[in-house]
Structure formats: C-alpha cells, structure tokens
Structure 1
C-alpha cells in the first residue's frame, strides 16, 4: 500500500530526500548527548578539569540548539511534503469520481464517497505528515542508540535489553488489537457520515411524516457503535502504555543494580551508568512513540485501502473516442438499442427511431416506461448493452466524450443548483462565458425579469440546491444554463411537470425559444405541451408501442389516445 502511495511522492523527491537527511541527522544528534555526558563525568568531573567541564557544557548547549533547528525544519518539511501529497491524492480521487458511471452513484451512498474524499484522505495526511517520517526517524534512532550502547559497554547493553522481548510481545499484541479496532472505527465513521448526509438532505421528508423520534433512535444506534469502537481503541492504549512504562522501569532498575554492583569493584565508571540510564529512556521512548503511531499508521492503512479500492474502480465511461467533428448538425438515430441498469432486466428493448436536425421528437408513457433512460444513453451517462446510437451517422462511442456532451444540452425536471451565485450556476464556473452572454440568454428565455429583482441580481446566492428560489425560477435558470452553452441537441425531461399553469406558460415560452433551430428530444408528462412535435413515441415497459404526430396517434385510438383521454378527464375533474 505504501509503495502505491509513494507514486505521489515523486514530484517532491528533492524535499523528500532533504527530509530523509534531516531524519538521519536527528537520529545521530539525539544519542550523542549521553555519550558526551558520560565523557564529561568520567574525564572532566573525575579529574577536576573545570575548563573541560565548561567547554563540554557549551558543546552540549550548541548541540541542543542545532537539534532544535533541525527538529523545527524536520517537522515543517514533513508537514509540507505531506500536505502537498494529500492535495494531489485528493485531486486525483475527485477527478476519478467525476469520471465514474452514474450506475456507480446509484449503488454507492454519497456519505461514503464524502468520507473517502475528506475524512480518509485527512487521515492519510497524518500518515505523511507525522506517521512515516516520525516512525522512520524513531527506527533510525533506535539503531544509533544500540550502536552507542554496545560501543560504550556491551554487558550493560545486554542487561538493559533483557526486558526487550517482553516489550516486543506486548507491542505486537497491541498492534494487532489496534489494527482490528481502527477498522471498526473507520467503518463506524463511514456509517455515521452516510446517515447524517442522507437524513439532512431528506429532512423535509422526516419532518413531514413525523419521523424525528424514529430517525433519532437510528442515529443514536449508529453513534453508539461509533463511540464503542473508539472507546475500545482507547482501552488498548490505556493498557499498553502503563505496561511499557513498567518494562522500562524494570530495565532501568536492572541497569542500576548491575552497574552499581560493578562500580563497587571499579569495573564500571559512574558516567557509564548515568549514560545507560539516559540511553534506556531514549531507547524505550521511540518504541513507545512507534507504538503510538500505530494509531495513525493503522488508520492510514485502512483509509488508503478504501481510497485505492475506489481508485481501482473501473466503473467509468471509457473515453476512448477521438472523433471531433468540424460541424455538428444534430441528426440522432437509435438503432435496435437494448439497455439494462443491472445487465439482467432490460428497461429498453429494441428501441429504434430517428430525429433529423432541427426536428422535435417527444417521448411519452407511464412512469418506468424507459423515457429517462433514452436521454441518459444519448449523453453516455450509461453505455448500451446492444445496438447502436449515432449522431450525424457516427457512433457516439467514437466521439470524444467532452465534445459529445458539449453539444447536448439537458434540462431536467429536478433542477440542481449549487450554493453559489446565479451567474456561476449558469456558467458552471466557465470563465470563457462572459456575463453579457448570460444576460442575453436570460433575456431570451424570460428569466432576466425575476433575476433583476433579486438582491444583487446575477450575483445573488441561491443557497444550497437553490433553496431560496421557486421551482419555476430554478427551471428558468436551467434553461439559461442550457442556452449559454448553445447545444445543437436539446433534451427536456418533463420540464413543466412540477409547476403551476401560469409558470408553465412562461416556461413553455422559454422552451419554444430554446428549441428553435435545434434537434429536440422532449420527455413530456403533460401531453398538451407536445402537440406540435414532429413525432411522438409512446413507450411502455421499454418498448415503442406506437409513433406518429399528435393527430395521427389520436386517430389510431390506442395507447396515446388512452393517455390523452385520461389527462383530459383529470383536467375536467380539476
């Protein structure tokens, strides 16, 4: 996993190599102090060399100052490298998510994706900023300390390390337990994020149906699992660190006992004993720190597994097409198209029709007939199972994907607006679309009048999902958005089904203007809005049951005529 993550380190190899150098320098600087103190006690203090003692004090002070500066740059650089790597990973992951098929989003809770792109990557930031650099430094420090210890006195070294096997066993058990524990913690965090995101988004449904108490109970259950997982991980820490302290104290006690015994017969010098007590404290500290970093490292491993699993997902629309037409007319053809969302139950069955450039075709039928699936396939939000879809005689899979979608404007029934200004919601952040073009498009579709009345006009912030605007106003903004991109093919998905009659007339006027001179595919709920379509297709259970103009279909007195009669009755009853 670390090998895969280190791909993101390559752009920062200069800084990373400097970080390694500083890590090595710290590993050497720290253990030098006990050695110098030992020399001072056994040489300068023992011989009464006051000048030598003062000289050594200044050396130690200089060493501490150097160590402080190295430590500062090491900490800063490790964080700098870590944050740049995390920025690149987050960008790569978000770009990958943008390319995934809509089918992936149909089957994956949004909260989990938010957790991957925010919480999991933030955990990785701790790994790069603290975990890896600190652990490597601690391991190097252990090696250097052992070298100094054996060089100073190999017998005292063996005595002081006699408790090490116990600490290694305790550390291994702790590592395994904490690994399982943090798997549970990350799973609990993902569940919590998913629940909160989903229920805040659907809070109006919760309140409409008085489900606050029931949803609060569910939240408490999920929150309780999150609390339990975290407390269990804390339990392992609360056991491990006291055990490590006791083992260190025993090691120091053995060194004092053994060293004092041999100091009596003049075998050891006092400086050696003091140096070894410092060595033991320095030796056990990195081990405890490494164990402490298991928290960060284990969470990082869990998070990186989740991130890499998402990055390894192949559920994206293959953008292998290279065709970029010099001119885009907008002749659309469906040839014996079959499509299923789950590769088993076909929602479109042997669909065939043609729309010439500038013509309007309407799709009607009951809910679930497959109307929306047609427009999803045309924009390649999903790929077909069998058959062929062409534009201007070219298979849409041969088009470069961005070019294809650039020439297809889609206006959905459920308009999504971002928490931003009206101008940026129309341009979608495309700086190449000037405000003048946006104003002209708004004037054309009849949206400028209500926009000018808003505080700030086109700079008015519509808030999340356009909450401060009416359904009709959001719909008009979606028309302006489609117009400024000037697509050759326009798709309208039941654009007037959720508005009142007065707003419908305004929107219908906008529709007529936006459809002028463009190939139009209209999914209609109200049949009155499509009477002038060049062709009407009636879909039922994924099949085209009949086609023709409004008058032709009424004359057949079949599926379309029945739909028309049912809506006419609804109007009369209303």
Structure 2
C-alpha cells in the first residue's frame, strides 16, 4: 500500500498529465488501432492455413493473395499508428517536463534565502537538472511502455479467448504472477535507488564546491583529500547500484524468460494432446503460440523500465519536496512612488535560528541623503541589518520602515526597486559589459550605462578593452580584476538610480588607487541618496554622517568619526589598530 507522500506524488504527476488529456486520449485511440492491426496478423495466418492450405486440393489462390494483401496493409497501418502514437505520447512527456521544470524554477525564486543558506548549490542544481530529467523518463516510460504494454496485453488476451477459452483462462494466471514479482522487485530496489539519487546529489554538490574553491584546494594541497572524500560518495553509489542491478537481474528478464518457456512448453503439450483426437486445427495451434509469444515482450518491456520509473518516482518526490516549501509570490513592482529614503530601525531583534539572536534591540534612523556606516567585527550583525532592510528575512520583533511605512507592507519587488546594492564579492553574469550594468532593463539606455561607468571611474579601462562596452564577460567575470569587477558592480547599482544605496564591504577587495576613484564617485552619487555602508576599512567612512559600532548584535557606540575618536572606545581602538597595520606595512 502506498504511503500518503507516494499517493500525493502520483496524484500530482497525473495532474500534470491531465493538462494534455485530449492529446493523450487521441494517442491512446491511435495505439488501440495500431495494436488491433498488429494482432490481426496471426489470425489472418490461421485463416489461410485452416481454410486454404489444410483442405485437400489446395485453396483459392486469389483468396490467399487477398488475405496476404490484407496482412501487409495491417502491418503498414500498425507501423504508421505506432509512429504517430509514439510521437504524440513522447512529445507530450517533453511538454509536461518543460512545464514542471518551469514551475520548479519559478518556485525557487519564491523560497526564502534561508533555504539557500543551508543547502549546497549542487543539490539545488541536481533537483532542477537531473531530477526533472529523471521524471521525464517516468512519463516517457509510462506512456511509451507501460500504457502500450497494457493495451497490447489486453488485445492479446482478447485474441486468445477467441481461439481457445480454456487455455486463455490458464494464461490469465500470468499477469497476477508477474505483478507479484514486480511488487517484490520494487520493494527491494527502491532502497538502493533512493541512496543512489542521494549520493548523486551529494556528488554534484561536492563537484560544484570544488570548482568554485579550486584555487584554495590547490594552494593548500587538498587535492588528495578532496579525491578521497569524493571516492567515498562515488563508492557508496556504486555499491548500491550493483545491489540494485542484482535485484533487477534476478527479477526481470531471467524470470520472465523462464516462466515464458515453461508456459510455452505446457501449451505445446496441451495442443499436442488435443491434436491426437483431432479437436484442434493446426491454424489455431500456430496462432495461439504466436499470441502467447507476444505476451512476454510487453512484460519484459515493463520490467526493463521499472528501474527508470522507480528512479523517476524518487526524483519526483524530491522535486515536489522543494515545490512544497513555503515561499513568497514574486509580485510585480507596481506603481509605488520613489521613496525619499528615510530608513528607520525601531528596536529590531532577529536571529537566523530560533533562540539565537544575532541582532538585539537595534534602533537607528538614516535621514534622506545621509551616509550611515556599520562597523564591527565579523559576526557582529552588520550584514544581517542589510539583509533585513532588503526584505531577505523578517525581523523577530521590532519594525523597519522606509519613509515611515513598515517594509512588510511593501511587495518585495516594490521594496527593492529603489535600492541599489554592491557586495564585497562582485558577481558578473555571462554576457557583455553593458548587459552587466543594465541587466536588460529597458529603462536603462546605453548612454546611461556609459554615464554610470564614467561616474565610478570605470569608463577608461572599459573603453580600452578590444570591444569596449560590448566586451564579452565570462561567468563570474574571471577575466577581469577584482577591482574592475567591483567598479562594474558599482556602475550597475548607480544605473538603476536608487534612492537607497547599500555598500556591503564593497571596498574590501579594492586597491588603494581604485579606492580613491570609488571614494570620489561616491561623493557625487550619494548626494540626495541614503547610503548605508558596511566597512572594514575605516578610512573609507571618515566622512559618514553617522557611524554605528556593533558588538555581538548590539549598537555599542554611535556618532561621526570625530566624536567616536574623542570617545576613545571600541571604534578608537579599531581605527588605531588599522592605522598601525598600515604604518607597519609601509
């Protein structure tokens, strides 16, 4: 008996198929015609033998030729019908998977960032790519093998009953017998298939991580350790795959072939005994053996596809597990007016895990056009404040507002429409320079792209590239320096003309010369904008209107640079430490 999750998975898979019910019904009707044409052949042969060849004196040559012509016509009709139904069913399966893959991709856009924080990228890629492809095999196996085989078996048994009722009743014992074997096969192989899919997902995650951090692996000579870790996963998958193949070998073609041989021998013995008393014609004997031989081909086809179908069912459960996660709908941006940019945190508390707050009673206000700097050691809560402001997470308590309106009342798209962000590790997409600035936003013209690059000081190096603004950018922008990538990401934020600009440690990977360019550009673009800066280099925030010093999730000091230096507290010590390191380095 299926458990509720299996019933739910089967029901949802059927739901996807019902979108194309008329196409599937049409294909099945064509299939019935094709099967009927195929199964008419042995009966025509039986008629030729019994009515035209067996009687003394021979038969009517014209009638024989007519029956042979009918036989050839049925073969042609069956061939055309099989091609048509196969094309319809398999193209339908592809359309179903296309829809499922898009539904999965849409839902991933809705899932909160917390899921991505705790899930390896490779596993998510495996769900979208590998598991949906496995589900495709399920639909194609089911519709191209299971359904076809069921229709063929139905037609064969109808023909058997027409020929000999008693022997046909005996042959009816075969389907329940094979069904029991299939149940046993599925029961034991699912354990191994589940482990195999899990290990494949783990290997994808590890491969993805290894490629991303390959410089670190090589620099710290971790190649052999990484290979050993991968070998453990690979070997576990191999061991379970061998076990699954063992179950398949014992319960598929071998047992079907053995049972088929025994049943055929029993039928031959039965007809041989009947022929001694002349109660059976040779034509019926030939037709019955022909139809009997055809019983086992659909059953073998089902067994051959059982593993694929079960693997696909396991994959479908994983896909639907993601699609069942709670997510927020991606709303349209709407017509929310451009905010002034007044940001206020009022006694905000937040934690990524229940009972482990990373922010405790955070309160501050950034007025229009002000620059607010957040400083503190790693883990003090700086990035968490930005994540809350962008609506990536919801505060546990307290309120965050923009222009006096609680940000939870905005749609996420409307909230972020007038925010620009530059991260410490700038990400560039595969495309060209101008695309990485405009991101295909129709409202941003090429002139605006050039102006944004010019404002951040990136225009000189871009124009020196072989293709200028059309210069191709490979994935992650690895052909550009970190400073160049950072300048392009600055230009991207500025091109969208945000009212709130967020710099998340954006100058941490910039050299001193590039930092000077960015500082100069910020003086221009921050005018009229509220700017929040997370800074490691305290020298970059000397001109900030307000500096918030965080320690263990709380604001322990606040004020401008001069006020905090005069206080000689935590900020003073941090600044002196950095200044000292700079001096010693020189």
Per-residue Cα deviation, 1:174-212 (whole angstroms, up to 9, x for no partner): 232232232222112112111111111111111010011
Mean CA deviation greater in 70-79 or 173-182: 173-182
Q: CA deviation at 1:412?
A: 0.6
Q: CA deviation at 1:151?
A: 2.1
Cα distance in 2 for partners of 1:540, 1:324 equals 39
Q: CA deviation at 1:166?
A: 4.7
Cα distance in 2 for partners of 1:192, 1:216 equals 11
Q: Which residue of 1 aligns with 2:230?
A: 219
Pairing 1:6–2:14 present = yes
Q: Which residue of 2 aligns with 1:277?
A: 289
Per-residue Cα deviation, 1:107-141 (whole angstroms, up to 9, x for no partner): 11111111100000001111222323421221122
Match of 1:339 among 340, 346, 350: 350
Q: Which residue of 2 aligns with 1:17?
A: 25
Aligned length: 573
Pairing 1:354–2:362 present = no
CA contact (8 A) 1:479 1:510 kept: no
Per-residue Cα deviation, 1:521-542 (whole angstroms, up to 9, x for no partner): 0111111111111111111100
Structure 2 length normalisation: TM-score?
0.94
Pairing 1:242–2:251 present = no
CA contact (8 A) 2:342 2:367 kept: yes
CA contact (8 A) 1:112 1:193 kept: yes
Flag the 1:430–1:35 CA change in 2: closer, same or farther, 3 A: farther
Cα distance in 1 for partners of 2:44, 2:188 equals 40
Q: Which residue of 2 aligns with 1:52?
A: 63
Mean CA deviation greater in 221-230 or 471-480: 221-230
Cα distance in 2 for partners of 1:88, 1:431 equals 27
Q: Which residue of 1 aligns with 2:439?
A: 428
Q: CA deviation at 1:157?
A: 1.8
What SS is found at the alignment partner of 1:346? Answer: coil
Per-residue Cα deviation, 1:492-543 (whole angstroms, up to 9, x for no partner): 0111112221121122223323322211001111111111111111111000
CA RMSD of aligned residues (A): 1.9
Mean CA deviation greater in 533-542 or 27-36: 27-36
What SS is found at the alignment partner of 2:557? Answer: strand
Flag the 1:313–1:190 CA change in 2: closer, same or farther, 3 A: same
Q: Which residue of 1 aligns with 2:48?
A: 40
CA contact (8 A) 2:34 2:77 kept: no
Flag the 1:225–1:265 CA change in 2: closer, same or farther, 3 A: same
Q: Which residue of 1 aligns with 2:4?
A: none
Superposed, 1:257-406 pairs within 5 Å as 257-314=269-326, 316-317=327-328, 324-406=335-417
Match of 2:419 among 393, 408, 415: 408
CA contact (8 A) 2:437 2:491 kept: yes
Cα distance in 1 for partners of 2:173, 2:574 equals 88
Q: Which residue of 2 aligns with 1:147?
A: 158
Q: Which residue of 2 aligns with 1:26?
A: 34
Cα distance in 2 for partners of 1:465, 1:109 equals 18
Match of 1:129 among 117, 120, 140: 140
What SS is found at the alignment partner of 2:426? Answer: coil
Q: Which residue of 2 aligns with 1:491?
A: 502
What SS is found at the alignment partner of 2:509? Answer: coil
Flag the 1:347–1:69 CA change in 2: closer, same or farther, 3 A: same
What SS is found at the alignment partner of 1:490? Answer: strand
Q: Which residue of 1 aligns with 2:535?
A: 524
Flag the 1:61–1:28 CA change in 2: closer, same or farther, 3 A: same
CA contact (8 A) 2:349 2:398 kept: yes
Cα distance in 2 for partners of 1:138, 1:394 equals 63
Cα distance in 2 for partners of 1:407, 1:233 equals 55
Flag the 1:322–1:474 CA change in 2: closer, same or farther, 3 A: closer
Per-residue Cα deviation, 1:537-573 (whole angstroms, up to 9, x for no partner): 1111000112111111112221222222222222222
Cα distance in 2 for partners of 1:200, 1:327 equals 41
Q: CA deviation at 1:334?
A: 0.4
Cα distance in 2 for partners of 1:288, 1:567 equals 74
Mean CA deviation greater in 495-504 or 225-234: 225-234
CA contact (8 A) 1:362 1:522 kept: yes
Match of 1:82 among 77, 90, 93: 93
Cα distance in 2 for partners of 1:200, 1:23 equals 48
What SS is found at the alignment partner of 2:466? Answer: coil
Q: CA deviation at 1:216?
A: 1.1
Flag the 1:63–1:84 CA change in 2: closer, same or farther, 3 A: same
Cα distance in 2 for partners of 1:290, 1:379 equals 52
Per-residue Cα deviation, 1:418-473 (whole angstroms, up to 9, x for no partner): 22222222222334433222112112221111111222222222212111111110
Pairing 1:66–2:77 present = yes
Cα distance in 2 for partners of 1:311, 1:545 equals 42
Unmatched runs of 5 consecutive residues or more in structure 1? none
CA contact (8 A) 1:23 1:136 kept: no
What SS is found at the alignment partner of 1:414? Answer: coil
CA contact (8 A) 1:160 1:252 kept: no
Cα distance in 2 for partners of 1:174, 1:207 equals 45
